[in-house]
Structures are given as C-alpha cells and as structure tokens.
Amino acid sequence: MKDYLQIANSKVFFLCGAIVILFILFQSVLFFRLAYNQGLKIGLTKGKMLKAFRTGAISTIVPSIAVIVALMTMVPVLGIPIPWMRLSVIGSAPYELMAAGIGAKSMGIDSLGGAGYNSQVFASSVWIMCIGSIWAVSFVAFFLRKIKEKYAKSTTSDPQWRNILNNAAFLGVFCVFIADPIIKGGLSLFTLICGAVIMTILALIIVKLKQDWLKEFALALSMIGAMACTVLFSYYF
C-alpha cells in the first residue's frame, strides 16, 4: 500500500486544488467588478475606489501570515493540495486541525500523522473536514433570508437584546476553540494565555492611544506573538 502522503500529494488532488483556486479568483474578480461599477453609479471617483482597494489589499497581508503559518503546519501531515484548498476556501486553521483530528480519532488514531496514520485514516480526516463545513454554508444559502427577517424584527424592537445576542454568538465561537487547551493544559494553555495577554495589550493601545489602524492586525499579531512565545518557551525551558 502506498504511503498516504503519496496519495495526498497526487496529481489528482493538485488538479482539484487548481480548479478550486481558479474559481475563487473568478469570484474575486467578479465581485471587484460589480463593486467598482456600483461605486461609479453612486458617484464615487475612480481615485477613491482604487485607494480603498489598495488599503484593503495592504490590510490583508498580516492576517494572511497566520493562514500561511497554518498551511506550513498542516502540509507535513496532510500534504499540500488539501490544506491549500481548505485554507483558501475556509481559512480557519483551528477548525481544519480539529476536524482532521476528529477524523483520526474516529479511526482509533490519537494524533495526526502519528503511528498508524495511513491512507484510510487520511481519508477519514478529509471527509470530516469537508462534511463538517458543508452545513454552515448550506444553512446560510437556504435559510439566510428567513433568519435575517426574524433577526431584524427581534433586534429592532429591542436593541439591548441585539447586543446580547451578538456578543453571545461571538463568545460561543471562541469558547469552542479555547475549551480544549484549557482542559489539557501544558503548551496549549500557555499559548492561549500568551495570545490573550498580547490581545489585551493591543486592545489597550487601540483604546487608550486611539490607534485604530491596529484593529485590522490585532488578531493576526496576537496569534503570531503567541506562537513565538511558545517556541521561545519550549527552546529555553
């Protein structure tokens, strides 16, 4: 039987990845064209729109570094094409690693790429990664209009409830990812604490010193800073 990485890095997967990336690029160009034409209709100048485009492009550089780092960590375990496709579409390394880990555990393997991680386990990881992300997208595609109508009714009549709902949903998403390191402890918990401290410092700089430009980079900087702290801690201690 072939080593699973030979399958993971096969030409078929690279072809699938190229098709997905080309489709994403097509969507990007299409949305840019629609936005540009709509801007002209409402009276925006070409100079203002190009400046907005340039600002948006620059602001994505630092957040993209976190995705690239995630890609580098996933490639040795899952090959190149699958992480390339997944992070280009979803862009969430925590979800991808969690889903891949669930797929491995369902086959009796405790760690990604560990002993016993073969082609069957790899297939299970990929299936979980893909199936697990289908439902949210499908739910939005089919029920977004109804959800927006009910949300608008409830939040318009009670603005305080709107704030509570938004904050609860936001915190709930993060709790899903921080529960595991809190329970396990060790380096995972250390990384979480470092990220929280760095984010708090950045938030104070943004609020107290009124450095609003940092808002776009705070999450990426806290992630990279937390990883750097963990690497240094592991090296010296």
Count the domains in the chain: 2
One DSSP character per residue, 219-235 reads HHHHHHHHHHHHHHHHH
State pLDDT tens for residues 181-195.
888 888 889 988 999
Confidence band for 2, pLDDT divided at 50, 70 and 90: low
Q: Which of 15-24, 66-75, 149-158, 172-181 has the lowest mean pLDDT?
A: 149-158
The residue out of 97, 116, 145 marking a domain boundary is 145
Residues 16 and 92 in one domain: yes
Kindly list the distances between the CA atom of residue 76 and the CA atoms of 11, 13, 59, 196, in Å, as whole numbers in the listed order: 17, 15, 29, 28
Residues 86 and 184 in one domain: no
Residues 4 and 78 in one domain: yes
Residues 191 and 127 in one domain: no
Residues 113 and 216 in one domain: no
In one-letter notation, the amino acid at residue 97 is L
Measure the CA–CA gap between 129 and 123, rounded to whole angstroms: 10
Residues 81 and 102 in one domain: yes
E-only strand ranges, the chain? none
Residues 134 and 170 in one domain: no
The residue out of 123, 145, 167 marking a domain boundary is 145
State pLDDT tens for residues 125-154.
999 988 888 887 788 778 878 877 777 776
Kindly list the distances between the CA atom of residue 218 and the CA atoms of 164, 175, 197, 206, 235, in Å, as whole numbers in the listed order: 23, 19, 12, 9, 26
CB contact at 8 A, 143 and 156? no
pLDDT at 1: 43
111 pLDDT exceeds 80? no
CB contact at 8 A, 113 and 134? no
The residue out of 80, 115, 145 marking a domain boundary is 145
Residues 47 and 127 in one domain: yes
Residue 204 lies in a domain: yes
State pLDDT tens for residues 14-32.
999 999 999 989 998 999 8
* pTM across the whole model: 0.61
Residues 229 and 197 in one domain: yes
**What range does the domain containing 28 cover?**
1-145
Residues 7 and 79 in one domain: yes
Residue 152 lies in a domain: no
Residue 106 lies in a domain: yes
Residues 26 and 117 in one domain: yes
Residue 150 lies in a domain: no
pLDDT at 91: 63
Residue 151 lies in a domain: no
Residue 201 lies in a domain: yes
Residues 112 and 222 in one domain: no
